[in-house]
Structure 1
Amino acid sequence: MQTKSWPIGATCILFAATTFAFQPVFAAVIYTTGANPAGLLWIRFIGAAACLLTVLQLQKKPMNKLCWPSICLGVIYAAIALCYFSAIQHASASLVVILLYLFPILVMILARFVFKEQLSKLKITALAIALIGVLFAVGLNPKGSLIGILFSLAAALGYALYILLSNHYLTNKDIMVSTTYIFIGAALTYTLAALVTSEVKLPQQTSGWLAIAGLIVFSTVLPIIALNLGNMIIGASDTAILSTLEPIVTIFLAVLILNEELNLYRVAGGFMVVAAVIMISREKLATTTSQLKDTFNS
């Protein structure tokens, strides 16, 4: 990771977290038009793969060589989505979000012991504050079944593995090609699942298809490109911390758009997550400023 590029990487991750947060809003519209999770995810990844393939064709970028690591990442990404939406069916949304956002802890543990990534005291403190903020924001009395808990934990582990593996295997020179293969891997996974299970239900109204388009472009293609790029720049641990902004944005969108209740605990939790983001940002920006001063003074 190059410290001078850290603000760019952090901006990418914050953008990804914010745009990913719109997924429940789009999903709420899609479900009311007759679609189910299997149909939503199938068309989502097919559409995302088609979008990036079109962009690569316009840019005349070659895809002659299969990128198996990216295809495997796509399978993992598809599994994360399946676990998340399955968990929602069996447990309260609050419990699912709390358990899903255990993934930063899993990222830090795996990064430390597998990839030997160093963890500063400030980084650990910021992570703790962010996770406590998530607990406050989603509620302290969740309810759910054992299968919902297991699906949530599986999604958290999958997301941790995705961040670490993408940080380890993706390279800056082929980020668009790699991301395209990720979507192809996810699309193939759901196509195979659709053929085996025949449980796919698609939207039956125009509003549902418009929401699908928004989900594909605004909450899938753009954020995962930003996530992969930012992850390469700032590393897995910082990506995990900054990504905790997503559930807070989701909660506020639910209040503003879906008319859900906002209470003091959620406000407090939102401020705690923002404080954690500011803490880690100040550390990196201070180092960046110092290095820039040394560069100009030399």
Structure 2
Amino acid sequence: MPATSTRFGVLCVLASTAFFSLTATFVVNAYDSGANPVGVLTVRFAIASLFMVAARRIVRPNAPWPSRRVTLELMTLGGTSYFLGALLYFNALARMDSGLSIVIFYTYPILVVFGNWVINHHRPSRNIAIALVMSVTGVIITVGQVGNATGAGVIFCFASTLTYSAYTLGSARVLPKTDLFTGVTVVMIGAFTCFAILATVGSPFIDVKFPETTSGWVNVVLLAIIATAIATGVFFVGIRNLGPSTTSIITTFEPVLTIVA
């Protein structure tokens, strides 16, 4: 891989990490305004989908939509692993300290590297193995700087780690089949579709609460645009340039940013 592509990929992943690190702050502020996980997530992906449709229309107005098969794969990626990962993680945030949740979540590179080895037969190089050990060690050390959690919160967080690992591996396989803006747009729509169904069909059994203050809505909008649509876009660029293993390892810088935020 050319050095220029590698450096660009690293910069993109670091940028996405910075954007994603704001997630916990936006979410906690939305919860404080009266919203709950399903309410926040439904609005989050509705706004993110609209934002990406508009961005694609402006930046790539003549880009063709992918085939039905690729569209289904992208919708499935957004409607399964991204949907479940976000739902589990946001429920974890409602039950534990935001710093601790991100520290637990970012043990996921271990699963990505192992999954990439088993599924794609990409045996990790010595440099990848060393970087993985160092990054996870850094995450473990950081645990001492964060707060407490409930048992349910920890379970939700570890479950989101599993689903996000699948999302990362799936992204590396599906994204090369279409352009960046189209890929992100369809993934967002897939995730929104599932949350809209959950909020509508599950409403008799699941509380759906939206923000009750202007500040809460501002945080959800920022969550959707900065920490979802834009963050996902540059993350996908990073995966295309670096592959899932290296990308996942670089993202372990996020716990530090989340705790600072």
Q: Give the TM-score normalised by structure 1.
A: 0.79
1:210 aligned onto 2:212: no
Q: Which amino acid aligns with 2:74?
A: S
Distance 1:203 1:142 in 2: 25
Q: Which amino acid aligns with 1:225?
A: G
Aligned to 2:120, what secondary structure does the other structure show?
coil
Aligned counterpart, 1:13: 13
Structure-to-structure mapping, 1:135-146, within 5 angstroms: 135-139=140-144, 144-146=149-151
Whether the 8 Å contact between 2:26 and 2:222 is mirrored in structure 1 is yes
Distance 1:34 1:119 in 2: 45
Whether the 8 Å contact between 1:77 and 1:186 is mirrored in structure 2 is yes
Q: Which has the higher contact order (CA 8 A, sep 6+)?
A: 2
Q: Which amino acid aligns with 1:9?
A: G
Larger Cα-atom Rg: 1
Distance 1:174 1:90 in 2: 38
Distance 1:73 1:211 in 2: 26
Distance 1:29 1:142 in 2: 17
Match for 1:63 among 48, 62, 65? Answer: 65
Aligned counterpart, 1:236: 244
Match for 1:81 among 71, 83, 86? Answer: 86
Whether the 8 Å contact between 1:2 and 1:233 is mirrored in structure 2 is no
Distance 1:175 1:141 in 2: 36
CA RMSD of aligned residues (A): 2.0
Structure-to-structure mapping, 1:26-45, within 5 angstroms: 26-45=26-45
Aligned length: 253
Distance 2:258 2:98 in 1: 11
Deviations, residues 144-203 of structure 1 (Å, cap 9, x unaligned) = 454333322211111111111111111175111111010001000100100122222111
Whether the 8 Å contact between 2:103 and 2:255 is mirrored in structure 1 is no
Structure-to-structure mapping, 1:235-274, within 5 angstroms: 235-253=243-261
Distance 1:181 1:127 in 2: 31
Q: Which amino acid aligns with 1:149?
A: V
Whether the 8 Å contact between 1:45 and 1:184 is mirrored in structure 2 is yes
Aligned counterpart, 2:183: 178
Percent identical: 30
Aligned counterpart, 1:125: 130
Gaps of 5+ in 1: 254-298
Q: Give the TM-score normalised by structure 2.
A: 0.89
